[in-house]
Amino acid sequence: MGQSLMPTYSPLPVTFARGEGLWLWDTEGRRYLDAISGIAVCGLGHAHPGVAAALCEQAGRLLHTSNLYQIEAQQQLGDQLTRLAGMDRVFFGNSGAEANEAAIKLARLHAHQRGIKDPVIVVMESSFHGRTLATLTATGNRKAQAGFEPLVQGFARVPYNDLEAIDKVATSPASIVAVLVEPIQGEGGVILPTPDYLRGLRERCDRHGWLLMLDEIQTGMGRTGQLFAYQHAGILPDVMTLAKGLANGVPIGACLARGPAAEVLGPGSHGSTFGGNPLACKAALAVLQTLEQEALPEQAARQGAALLEQLRTTIGDLPGVRDIRGLGLMIGIELERDCAELTRQALDQGLLINVTAGRVVRLLPPLIIDDEQIGLLVDGLATLIRRFLAHQPTEASG
């Protein structure tokens, strides 16, 4: 490969030429089982015919007109998303980071409209919200922040799954206005909330007059077995962000809000050149139609439970496997030592996985995964992890 790209990634030595469903083929014609979906993006699988048809039809008519004009597909998508999410309004951008930037700006403007000069947003340790400067600051990963100081002010960080820490920070003199949290921490190692955590956050936000802002960029669009992960807890957030699975690979982000939070942003207060253009919105409409018609969130719940059970049965008792956890088709296998090298070994085996938080194998397969593919995935992972654990490193790690 050439040297023209800034080396912000260390790509694995493979180039994919085409895809279909769960399968990808490289330029040499070798087939791979995709258990990561482009980091939770291609929930419907690769080359989904409904999305492809929507894109082709729209590309032949109109790609872009600017948000200076009304966009019919954008209004249709906004209507459907707000109906399904129980929200009132939506702002469209191009990415998850842009959606979270909109949420952060919304919270700050909401505070200033109430006379709070130095608003503070509570965020969580080990969280991930993006790589723009504000979302990087909100992210709870010092390694990702290093070298980019000075960071943005106005955030207070507490441990995830710790309601007592929320109560403690609430007594500080800081002008807290919102809590920004992932319903399940993805980059942090597939960390699930305790049963009462999200309900506890909702109750505390109501008590103190804060906005509850949920980052559903990885958990949304059916991945966890509900269309949105907050539905497992029986609550409603004030603000919610979406992106990855929203248009099955076409870049789009969305920041939804309800109640007073939905009335904060007005003309001129925020914007996006490409956000919500006809092409991206048509793709997202095709995704929503498919999710509903084929009941894919329910399928994700069933297949995720089957995958989790088979993984626990097959490798759960192996020495060196610390935990196997997840919800729907968002699953983590935590090992006792760092295992980043597994992604390369899996690639050699024709399997696409991801390792996050150093020692957690993260699985985010398309929601359309079938029983046979689950069997292939479990067999492949079991072989991979048994072989990895059988070879001890020369020096203890992590």
The closest alpha carbon to 169, from 155, 181, 183, belongs to: 155
Residue 235 near residue 198, CB atoms below 8 Å: yes
39 is in an annotated binding site: no
Calpha distance 157→127 (Å, rounded): 10
The closest alpha carbon to 296, from 127, 62, 50, belongs to: 50
Residue 246 near residue 228, CB atoms below 8 Å: no
Calpha distance 70→278 (Å, rounded): 10
In this structure, the dihedral spanned by the alpha carbons of residues 157, 160, 163 and 167, taken in order and rounded to 10 degrees, is 0
Instruction: Give the Å distances, CA to CA, from 394 to 115, 335, 386, 391.
Output: 59, 17, 17, 9
224 is in an annotated binding site: no
216 is in an annotated binding site: yes
- Helix axis angle for 296-315 and 278-293, nearest 10°, is 70
Q: At 156, which helix (H) or strand (E)?
A: strand 155-158
Calpha distance 392→200 (Å, rounded): 42
Residue 249 near residue 41, CB atoms below 8 Å: yes
Which string of DSSP letters, residue by residue, matches 118-144? Answer: SEEEEEETT----SSHHHHHHS--HHH
CA angle 209, 130, 265 (to 5 degrees): 45
- Residues marked active site are found at 128, 215, 244
Q: Tell whether the torsion through CA atoms of 214, 361, 342 and 247 is positive or negative.
A: negative
* DSSP 8-state class, residue 261: G
96 is in an annotated binding site: yes
Q: Which residues pair with 23 in a beta bridge?
A: 20, 33
The closest alpha carbon to 189, from 339, 319, 306, 305, belongs to: 339
- Helix axis angle for 278-293 and 49-59, nearest 10°, is 150
H-type helices in 256-370, by residue range? 278-293, 296-315, 342-348
Question: What are the binding residues?
Answer: 96-97, 128, 131, 215-218, 272-273
Question: What are the binding residues for pyridoxal 5'-phosphate?
Answer: 96-97, 128, 215-218, 273
Question: What are the binding residues for N(2)-acetyl-L-ornithine?
Answer: 131, 272
